[in-house]
């Protein structure tokens, strides 16, 4: 036994513009105050005065969700590696602290050095979901920045939105100054260069000139430079630049050669509990499986693999730096990596006997096999396994182009059971285009058969599966962008029928867990994802009426959104239904048509027609290119292995890691 003495805090010297002295007294009065103190391993605090360009980066959700976010961590590190650039992080504060901050005049702050967000040059916000929009408004307002981009002055930072939701930033066009589509690594460097030069020149032309310079890159969208005209029936007539020197279309960014961007190198290690405490490394970006509902797969094309050797190196350094004992091999469909087998067995071998476990967050049924199952469980711990057939019937899986057969699924799940897993999660969607009650009820059959086959194969009654159902939300830049949504009542009714069907067999039903989201939040997500600039007024009204943390069921209020929509939309001659359950036709101008994800709109329309006749599309990694449009328009190409290299076992380093030079 050893005993030691650790003082829990020694005061950190406060930065000159730090709000810490005013914030600290408020913290004892709020829940989980540790989330606001910063000081994590991997956090960087730089000198304010010598920085030429200063970024505040936000994930607009609670610290526990936002901190593990890869996108923000990557950009934070890329920016802070530049000697004359400073990047700090800020997250959404919970309503208890928001109230106190308002009462005591404490502005939105960064957790790194507790500096006011308004003092920064650029305020970058990462949206992986649209449900963070109300939290954006809270942050802008708490920061003391005018809510409307049009009201801002040279004293305010430029607010830039990024992440997947930024592929249609129209609903927040009034509140952000700019949006970046696609990969951020090079985009933030380019923005930094422009801001640095503009400041060095003495900020000529003020804010307008800076935004113009950003817009001229053709990959930063500045909404104020575009006008939207509407037809009498409410549809969009056109979206066109309102000045001669900005591009008609803004293009997405694609970072090629992921081996050249091995981030995060120094992952943030939270002091407070978060949703994920693991070292995550993206093993590839992009996915061409072509699931028609999947925005992520459509907008991140083409597939770019990170090589097995770079992944091995990143894992080694990342674990050493962070002390994490779980490694997540992240991507949109991790088992599809051309060298996934060697990667998993190599890593399992390297970390044999060390408590380090591996997980594959997104695994396709058809790519999972016994070898992989064994490698994942080699170190004794079995992290959860989730498979996503998405659709209950063979027919609906053809509509969505998720080509897994029931036999494949059962075989895969049984593999997992016979390899020691006792619990498997199956993920489905409800409300898909052309879906009927019968399609959804087949989920029950599938779950029953999984349990039956699992019991037969293992001879044990001690196996379970959880059926988890999410509501379908049509997303921009997908073949389903024209689709109508189902009403929440219909969704809820189908889920009720499904639950009854699962429990119709008592013995099997007992081994099946059932989790679902109601139809209501999905409908609102649908409003936000396919919304146009007029939806901004709804977001604002909801926020004014107290809307916060809409991604959290305990904070989300459907009624508040319905009421706000009913209040503001009729003035534009449209309503909530118009945005959600209305099917669009081929010629309608969509709010994001001027934003170029590389996908050819005609190809998307054809794929939508193919969906309706249940015609499947192949994967361009293994079959010839089918001209989705991305590679030629973005000047990109598929980058996949195999490289044929293997991971060599590491020489284990044992013993205490005592620093050579004692830190002062």
Partner 1 sequence: MRRAGVPIAFSQGFTPHPKISYASAAPTGVASEAEYLEIGLREPVDPEQLRAALDAALSPGLDVLDAVVAQGGSLADRIEASHWRIELPEVEPAALERAVAAFTAAEEVLVERMTKQGRRTFDARAAVMSIDLIPPVATPSEAPGVSCAILELVVRQVTPSVRPDDVLSGLRVAADLEPPVSPRVTRLAQGTLTAQGAIVDPLDADRDGASIGGR
- Span from 27-35, 365-373, 403-411, 620-628 in contact with ligand SF4 (CB under 6 A): 620-628
Residue 162 site contact among ligand B12, ligand SF4, partner 1, none (CB < 5 to 8 Å, cut-off depends on kind): ligand B12
Number of residues that bind ligand SF4 (CB under 6 A): 12
Cβ-based neighbours of 398, under 8 Å, separated by 6 or more: 614, 615, 616
Contact between 620 and ligand SF4 by CB under 6 A: the answer reads: yes
Binding mask 122-141 for ligand SF4 (x = CB under 6 A): --------------------
Distance of alpha carbon 467 from alpha carbon 212, whole angstroms: 50
Are 482 and 530 a contacting pair, CB within 8 Å?
no
Among 105, 151, 658, 664, binds partner 1 (CB under 8 A): 658
Residue 638 site contact among ligand B12, ligand SF4, partner 1, none (CB < 5 to 8 Å, cut-off depends on kind): ligand SF4
Contact between 5 and partner 1 by CB under 8 A: the answer reads: yes
Among 153, 559, 651, 654, binds partner 1 (CB under 8 A): 654
| Parallel/antiparallel/unpaired status of strands 158-162 and 122-126 | parallel
| Of 321 and 558, CB closest to partner 1 | 321
> Which residues in 293-322 contact partner 1 (CB under 8 A)?
320-322
Tokens of 244: 């001669």
DSSP annotation of 357:
E
Contact between 298 and ligand SF4 by CB under 6 A: the answer reads: no
3-class SS of residue 544: helix
Are 428 and 406 a contacting pair, CB within 8 Å?
no
| Of 354 and 623, CB closest to ligand SF4 | 623
Contact between 605 and ligand SF4 by CB under 6 A: the answer reads: no
Cα dihedral: 236, 238, 243, 246 (round 10): 100
3-class SS of residue 613: coil
Q: Which spans of this chain sit near ligand B12 (rule: CB under 6 A)?
A: 61, 65, 68-71, 74-75, 124, 126, 128-129, 160, 162-164, 180, 183-185, 187-188, 255, 275-276, 282, 294-296, 330-332, 361-362, 470, 475, 551
Query: Shortest Cβ contact with ligand SF4: which residue?
Result: 620
Q: How far is the CB of 337 from ligand SF4 (least distance, A)?
A: 17
| Of 26 and 61, CB closest to ligand B12 | 61
Contact between 377 and ligand SF4 by CB under 6 A: the answer reads: no
Helix (H) or strand (E) holding 176: none
133-143 helix and 535-544 helix, angle to the nearest 10 degrees: 60
Contact between 659 and partner 1 by CB under 8 A: the answer reads: yes
Q: Give CA separation, 267 vs 80, 247, 281, in Å.
A: 13, 37, 10
Among 16, 17, 25, 464, binds partner 1 (CB under 8 A): 25
Q: How far is the CB of 149 from ligand B12 (least distance, A)?
A: 15
Q: Which of 530, 529, 542 is nearest to 137 (CA)?
A: 542
Binding mask 319-348 for partner 1 (x = CB under 8 A): -xxxxxx-----------------------
Q: How far is the CB of 40 from partner 1 (least distance, A)?
A: 7
Q: How far is the CB of 462 from ligand B12 (least distance, A)?
A: 27
Question: Which string of DSSP letters, residue by residue, matches 623-649?
Answer: S-----SHHHHHT---B-------PPP
Q: How far is the CB of 399 from ligand SF4 (least distance, A)?
A: 20
Residue 323 site contact among ligand SF4, partner 1, ligand B12, none (CB < 5 to 8 Å, cut-off depends on kind): partner 1
Q: How far is the CB of 178 from ligand B12 (least distance, A)?
A: 9
Are 56 and 124 a contacting pair, CB within 8 Å?
yes
**41 phi and psi angles, rounded to 5 deg:** -65, 130
Among 15, 630, 640, 647, binds ligand SF4 (CB under 6 A): 630
The region that residue 355 occupies, defined by phi over 0 for left and psi between -120 and 50 for alpha, beta otherwise, is left
Tokens of 589: 């101008």
Distance of alpha carbon 602 from alpha carbon 13, whole angstroms: 58
| Of 7 and 644, CB closest to partner 1 | 7
Tokens of 643: 């490289």
Are 250 and 181 a contacting pair, CB within 8 Å?
yes
Contact between 558 and ligand SF4 by CB under 6 A: the answer reads: no
| Of 304 and 455, CB closest to ligand B12 | 304
- Bridge partners, 516 (sequence order): 469
Residue 654 site contact among ligand B12, ligand SF4, partner 1, none (CB < 5 to 8 Å, cut-off depends on kind): partner 1
Among 157, 302, 392, 454, binds ligand SF4 (CB under 6 A): 302
Binding mask 216-235 for ligand SF4 (x = CB under 6 A): --------------------
Among 10, 50, 242, 559, binds partner 1 (CB under 8 A): 10
3-state SS string for 10-22 = CCCCCCCCCCHHH
Q: How far is the CB of 323 from partner 1 (least distance, A)?
A: 4
User: What's the first-to-final CA gap in the chain, in angstroms?
Assistant: 28
Contact between 628 and ligand SF4 by CB under 6 A: the answer reads: yes
Q: How far is the CB of 286 from ligand SF4 (least distance, A)?
A: 8
Peptide linkage before 492 cis (omega within 30 of 0): no
Are 566 and 576 a contacting pair, CB within 8 Å?
yes
Kindly give the residue spans of alpha helices, DSSP state H, lying in 394-436.
394-399, 406-418
**404 phi and psi angles, rounded to 5 deg:** -120, 135
Q: How far is the CB of 636 from ligand SF4 (least distance, A)?
A: 7
| Parallel/antiparallel/unpaired status of strands 122-126 and 53-59 | parallel
Are 131 and 550 a contacting pair, CB within 8 Å?
yes
Query: Which residues contribute to the site for partner 1 (CB under 8 A)?
Result: 1-12, 14, 21, 24-29, 33-34, 39-41, 43, 271, 320-325, 653-659, 662-663
Instruction: Name the site residues for ligand SF4 (rule: CB under 6 A).
Output: 288, 301-302, 620, 625-631, 638
């Amino acid at each position: 036994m050893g005993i030691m003495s650790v003082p829990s805090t020694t005061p950190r010297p406060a930065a000159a513009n730090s709000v810490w002295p005013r914030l600290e007294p408020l913290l004892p009065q709020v829940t989980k105050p540790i989330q606001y103190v910063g000081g994590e391993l991997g956090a960087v605090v730089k000198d304010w005065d010598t920085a030429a360009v200063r970024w505040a980066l936000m994930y607009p959700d609670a610290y526990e969700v936002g901190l593990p976010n890869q996108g923000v961590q990557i950009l934070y590190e890329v920016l802070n590696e530049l000697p004359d650039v400073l990047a700090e992080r800020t997250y959404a504060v919970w309503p208890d602290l928001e109230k106190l901050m308002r009462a005591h005049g404490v502005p939105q702050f960064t957790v790194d050095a507790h500096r006011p967000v308004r003092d920064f040059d650029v305020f970058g916000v990462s949206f992986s979901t649209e449900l963070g929009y109300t939290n954006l408004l809270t942050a802008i307002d708490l920061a003391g920045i005018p809510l409307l981009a049009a009201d801002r002055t040279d004293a305010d930072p430029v607010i830039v939105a990024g992440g997947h939701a930024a592929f249609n930033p129209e609903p927040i066009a009034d509140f952000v100054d700019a949006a970046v589509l696609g990969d951020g690594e090079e985009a933030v460097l380019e923005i930094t260069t422009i801001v640095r030069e503009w400041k060095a020149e003495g900020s000529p032309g003020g804010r307008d000139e800076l935004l113009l310079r950003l817009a001229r890159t053709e990959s930063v969208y500045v909404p104020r430079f575009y006008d939207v005209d509407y037809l009498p029936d409410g549809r969009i007539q056109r979206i066109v630049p309102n000045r001669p020197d900005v591009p008609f279309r803004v293009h997405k960014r694609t970072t090629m050669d992921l081996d050249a961007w091995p981030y995060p190198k120094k992952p943030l290690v939270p002091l407070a509990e978060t949703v994920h405490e693991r070292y995550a490394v993206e093993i590839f970006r992009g996915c061409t499986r072509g699931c028609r509902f999947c925005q992520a797969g459509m907008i991140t094309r083409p597939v770019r693999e990170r090589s097995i050797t770079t992944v091995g190196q990143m894992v080694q350094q990342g674990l050493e730096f962070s002390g994490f004992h779980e490694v997540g091999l992240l991507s949109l469909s991790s088992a599809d990596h051309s060298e996934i087998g060697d990667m998993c067995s190599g890593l399992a071998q390297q970390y044999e006997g060390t408590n380090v476990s591996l997980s594959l967050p997104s695994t396709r049924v058809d790519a999972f096999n016994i070898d992989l199952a064994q490698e994942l469980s080699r170190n004794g711990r079995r992290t959860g396994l989730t498979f996503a057939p998405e659709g209950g019937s063979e027919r609906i899986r053809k509509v969505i182009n998720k080509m897994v057969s029931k036999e494949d699924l059962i075989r895969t799940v049984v593999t997992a059971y016979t390899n020691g897993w006792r619990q498997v999660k199956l993920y489905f969607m409800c409300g898909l285009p052309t879906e009927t009650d019968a399609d959804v009820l087949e989920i029950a059959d599938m779950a029953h058969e999984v349990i039956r086959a699992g019991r037969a194969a293992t001879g044990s009654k001690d196996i379970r599966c959880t059926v988890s159902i999410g509501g379908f939300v049509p997303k921009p830049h997908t073949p389903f962008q024209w689709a109508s949504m189902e009403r929440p009542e219909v969704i809820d009714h189908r889920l009720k029928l499904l639950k009854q069907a699962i429990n119709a067999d008592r013995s099997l039903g007992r081994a099946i867990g059932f989790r679902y989201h109601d139809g209501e939040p999905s409908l609102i997500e649908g409003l936000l994802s396919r919304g146009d600039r007029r939806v901004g007024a709804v977001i604002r009204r909801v926020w004014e009426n107290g809307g916060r943390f809409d991604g959290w069921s305990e904070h989300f209020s459907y009624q508040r959104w319905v009421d706000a929509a009913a209040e503001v939309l009729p003035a534009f001659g449209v309503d909530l239904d118009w945005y959600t359950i209305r099917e669009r036709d081929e010629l309608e101008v969509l709010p994001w048509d001027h934003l170029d994800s590389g996908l050819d709109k005609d190809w998307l329309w054809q794929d939508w027609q193919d969906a309706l006749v249940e015609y499947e599309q192949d994967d361009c990694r293994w079959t010839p290119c089918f001209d989705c449009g991305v590679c030629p328009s973005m000047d990109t190409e598929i980058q996949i292995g195999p490289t044929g290299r293997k991971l060599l076992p590491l020489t284990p380093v044992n013993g205490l890691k005592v620093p050579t030079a004692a830190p002062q």
